[in-house]
Structure 1
Amino acid sequence: MPELPEVETVRRGLEPVLEGARLSRVRQNRPDLRFPFPDRFVERLDGATVLRLDRRAKYLLFPLSTGETWVTHLGMTGRFTLEGREVGAFEDEAPSGGKHEHVSLSAMKDGAVTRLGFADARRFGFMGLIPTDQVEAHPWFAGLGPEPLGNGFSAAHLAQAFKGRKQNVKVSLLDQRIVAGLGNIYVCEALYRAGVSPLIAAGRVSRPRLEVLTTQIREVLKDAIAAGGSTLRDFANAEGGQGYFQHSFDVYGREGEPCRNPACAGEVRRVVQGGRSTFWCPSCQAR
């Protein structure tokens, strides 16, 4: 599933085309994805102008001139695609882009028209239209923790959230109520960089170590965004390109391989925690 860096990469790829663009010729090719599309989805999008492009956790948010926000979750295999066209290229509807494309439309900005498609082979993604002034109160967003790249995320926040918590720190960091948007890959990488064992109880991580951990969470996310995210199976950005951060993984997916720390003679191990594979170096991340 695309994690925060991949979703942010998609947002940045769409922003130059969609921010300030007027949407038209919207086509919905099926009644549902993971959930049904909103009532009158096509009519509510058609003619709207995208005011800006935001991201909250792993959601893309496009506030519209209509007072609603178009929300998209990519699920496992969802992806947006862009295809440039000259003005007036679409005389009727934007053309469909294959059997797995479920939404298509055209976006006009600065006299140019771009075709936008959304495909999702496994249909675990979903879309919604929410009144913009009610987004934060919506069940999808209510209760989410702070953004790991925002000012609300700090060692003090983690210390409070982890206080007395017996659950291991790895699974705790995946709790979206504690911090929003973190996923399995980047939690493994951040814990390795911080030298924190994924097996230790969250409530037992010291304050100095939490300072290091919060810094490394931010750094690994920034590094991944700079590399365009990670492509393991299906992720591609809006231009169809792949991310490259997978080539920089220190531990994720490297079970049995030597630790990348030159001073360490250990190897990467794997354990299942909360139904997810955790990769770590027991020597560098001793409890």
Structure 2
Amino acid sequence: MPELPEVETTKTSLLPLIGQQVKSVTVHESRLRWPIPEDLQRLQGQKLLKLTRRSKYILAEFERDRMLWHLGMSGSFRLCEAHEEKRKHDHLIIQFNDMQLRYHDPRRFGCILWWDAETESKLLAPLGPEPLSDAFNAEYLMQKLKNKQVGIKVAVMDNHVVVGVGNIYATESFFNLGIHPAQPASSLKPHQVEKLVVEIKRILKQAIDLGGSTLRDYTNAMGENGYFQQTLLAYGRAGEMCVNCETTLENLKLGQRASVFCPQCQPLKKVSTTASIKRGKIK
């Protein structure tokens, strides 16, 4: 599934469309996670004014309408010439002045929706802060974790806590800090939470700089691969040797996700049942 760095990279690769006018809209398959709106033709004649990102949604603002796009499990956008052959699973084609925007999604878990009051309320309003924003800081995260007994990896991958910290980047962050992914979230000490916030921001920034991760067939809208996967130290390496201690990396399931870790470098620490939590700090 494309994660935050891949979505950010995709959004950036679509910026050549800014200022261009929609000439036509063709829907080849409307059955995505939610049906593509039947009145999508109303985009015709409108210029694309702005592209932003919220969590893993790309937000497109036209002259009169706004749209919310999500890549789902296997979705991707690409920019191409009109004469290029349509591929299987190209479900939506928007013709702009001098290029086409095509949405490709074999598994059809993505979404193409109007960004209106309903989608704002249901899909955007419940989200936590952006991980690269000032709102995501150690004080905030301590408050969110202080009563959570789930594993810390499950907690930081909860979009109500913070958005966009997907499996790849969470796995790498915990490995680099020596934190076991199943460590109860409320048991982390303040200094650990502070380091975790810093590391998550560093990993995500690095991934964006490298164009995201191409593990299967991810490319941005220009057809370019990401290169962050070349730096992976833990994710996808279960059964291989730890780069730090040469212990065999192990895998466990947390929140239905594979969680690779080093049992030597990331020991699961015992939590005292008498530990008291006061004012957001673990004593």
CA–CA separation in structure 2 for the residues paired with 1:128 and 1:281: 42
What are the superposed Cα offsets for residues 186-209 of structure 1, whole Å, 9 maximum, x if unpaired? Answer: 111111122211121001111101
Change (3 A) 1:254 1:38: same
- Structure 1 residue 136: Cα displacement: 7.8
User: What is residue 69 of structure 2 aligned with on the other side?
Assistant: 72
CA–CA separation in structure 2 for the residues paired with 1:97 and 1:195: 47
- Structure 1 residue 50: Cα displacement: 1.3
One-letter identity of the residue aligned with 2:262: C
Superposed counterparts of 1:202-221, under 5 Å: 202-221=185-204
One-letter identity of the residue aligned with 2:160: R
User: What is residue 10 of structure 1 aligned with on the other side?
Assistant: 10
User: What is residue 87 of structure 1 aligned with on the other side?
Assistant: none
CA–CA separation in structure 2 for the residues paired with 1:62 and 1:216: 30
Which secondary structure does the structure 1 equivalent of 2:172 belong to?
Answer: helix
Which secondary structure does the structure 1 equivalent of 2:115 belong to?
Answer: strand
What are the superposed Cα offsets for residues 205-248 of structure 1, whole Å, 9 maximum, x if unpaired? Answer: 11101111001101111111111111112311111122111111
User: What is residue 158 of structure 2 aligned with on the other side?
Assistant: 175
User: What is residue 46 of structure 1 aligned with on the other side?
Assistant: 44
User: What is residue 92 of structure 2 aligned with on the other side?
Assistant: 103
Superposed counterparts of 1:94-243, under 5 Å: 97-108=86-97, 113-131=98-116, 134=117, 137-243=120-226
User: What is residue 23 of structure 1 aligned with on the other side?
Assistant: 22
- Structure 1 residue 12: Cα displacement: 0.8
Which secondary structure does the structure 1 equivalent of 2:22 belong to?
Answer: strand
Give unpaired runs (5+ residues) of structure 1: 85-89
CA–CA separation in structure 2 for the residues paired with 1:154 and 1:201: 19
Identity rate, percent: 38
CA–CA separation in structure 1 for the residues paired with 2:258 and 2:127: 23
Give unpaired runs (5+ residues) of structure 2: 270-283
- Structure 1 residue 135: Cα displacement: 7.6
- Structure 1 residue 98: Cα displacement: 2.2
- Structure 1 residue 14: Cα displacement: 0.6
Across the aligned residues of Structure 1 and Structure 2, the Cα RMSD in angstroms comes to 1.7
CA–CA separation in structure 2 for the residues paired with 1:268 and 1:31: 43
Which secondary structure does the structure 1 equivalent of 2:49 belong to?
Answer: coil
Which secondary structure does the structure 2 equivalent of 1:200 belong to?
Answer: coil
Would you say the 8 A contact 1:95–1:104 is kept in 2? no
TM value normalised by structure 2: 0.90
Would you say the 8 A contact 1:135–1:141 is kept in 2? no
- Structure 1 residue 95: Cα displacement: 7.1
CA–CA separation in structure 2 for the residues paired with 1:152 and 1:219: 16
Superposed counterparts of 1:32-43, under 5 Å: 32-41=31-40, 43=41
> Equivalent of 2:253, from 257, 265, 272?
272
Q: How many residue pairs were aligned?
A: 268
